Amino acid sequence: TQAVCAELTRQDPLLDPDQSLAMIEKATELYTDAERQRGLGTFQGYKNALAQAQVALDLLVQAREITSSLPAKAQQARDLLADLSAEAIGEWRSRADRVKEELQYYARHWNTGLAGDSGEAISALDQVEIDLERISPNVRYQRRFRQSELVEAIETLSHAQSCMAQAQEMVTQLEEQREHIESLRETLEQALGKLTQQTLPAMAAQSEAMLAERQQRFETLQEELQKQLPIFGDPAQVNYDQAVNEWLPSILQPLQEIRAAHEADIQHFQELLQEALKRLDRQWTRLQKLAPHEQPGPEENVNKLLDDLDAWRAETEQNYDNPRKLRELVGRRVANLEQRLETAQQQIIEGRRGLEN
């Protein structure tokens, strides 16, 4: 066993099998005393000698076992120390401080849990350094791997490694959360830019042609947006998850609905207009067949009626995409023209029937 110890230290001078050597020394003392007990020549002496020899043998077996495991334990300590180098700790502490500073900029997110996560990550890194201070300087700085110090050192280093892994995981999660927030911020700012520079100006230009109920809803959404814009200009006041996933849809969806409804209104009143045009054309054709300029004619001034029809057609062409105007043009105005045409026809028919009679 002593030769094994000597060979280990020859192969790796940093190894110090102090426990094994102490056990060998103790076994040697026990063998020496056993020889002395055997030399007494008594039964009790033989009995004591056998007992001490057995203890010495057990010590040597145990010494050989722990000696053979010493290189592996030393390597385990080296590997743990490599993972817990000052450079590695410094790098992760820098990352923790940097992501903390960056996330504090987003106060609404920082104050709802991220501050606690950041503190926990930094506390874990602090614990790593505390654990490193607890182990023997010989082991920490790899000057000597003393057998009697390695078991406790490995246990402490393993705890430090666990704390390091916890800190790394939490810092990585914080960095991912920062990227998530920044991505949401970019999404929101792009959406707001499109809203303020494209969507709203285009819809504002259309709003004068919208039906009153559509226009009122659009103006309400505009007012809501104007209230929110100053807040969105300050990242400390914004919860970007809520802004993108809740507020933004609450603006975009109604705007889409208003636009779709407006387009549907245009199509609806254009269809009504086409129907009105056909009815008026039929009525005018009937009137012309009655030769309204011959006597007896209608009380209605046919030339004035024709001028009013032409003016109405010109107005419908100018407002072909204006539901607000078209609603009036194909409603009351058409009804009035139809009534005048029908009245003129009836007056002509009745007047000439009376003349015949």
The 10s digit of each residue's pLDDT in 137-182 is 998 988 888 878 888 999 999 999 999 999 999 999 999 999 999 9
The residues, ordered by sequence, that sit 6+ positions from 184 with a Cβ below 8 Å of its Cβ are 240, 241, 243, 244
- As a whole number of angstroms, the distance between CA 345 and CA 339 comes to 10
Residue 330 in contact with residue 276, Cβ under 8 Å?
A: yes
Longest CA pairwise span in the chain (Å): 173
- How far is residue 69's CA from residue 63's CA, in Å, rounded to a whole number? 10
Predicted pLDDT at 23: 72
Q: Which pTM does this prediction carry?
A: 0.74
pLDDT at residue number 201: 94
pLDDT at 1: 59
pLDDT tens, residue by residue, 123-135: 999 999 999 999 9
User: What is residue 42's three-state secondary structure?
Assistant: coil
- The residue among 67 and 274 whose pLDDT is bigger is 274
pLDDT at 352: 84
Mean of pLDDT values over 41-59: 73
pLDDT at 8: 67
- The tokens for 328 are 């009036």
Residue 176 or 355, more confident: 176
Q: Which helix (H) or strand (E) holds 152?
A: helix 147-194
What integer pLDDT is reported at residue 326 of this predicted model? 94
Angstrom distance (rounded) from CA 162 to CA 128? 9
Q: pLDDT-derived band of residue 334, with 50, 70 and 90 as boundaries?
A: very high
Q: Which phi and psi (to 5°) does residue 41 adopt?
A: 75, 10
Reported as a pLDDT band with limits 50, 70 and 90, residue 3 is: low
Report the b/e string of 88-108 with b at 16+ CB within 10 A: ebeebbebbeebbeebeebbb
Mean pLDDT of 33-51: 73
pLDDT band at 357; cut points 50, 70, 90: low
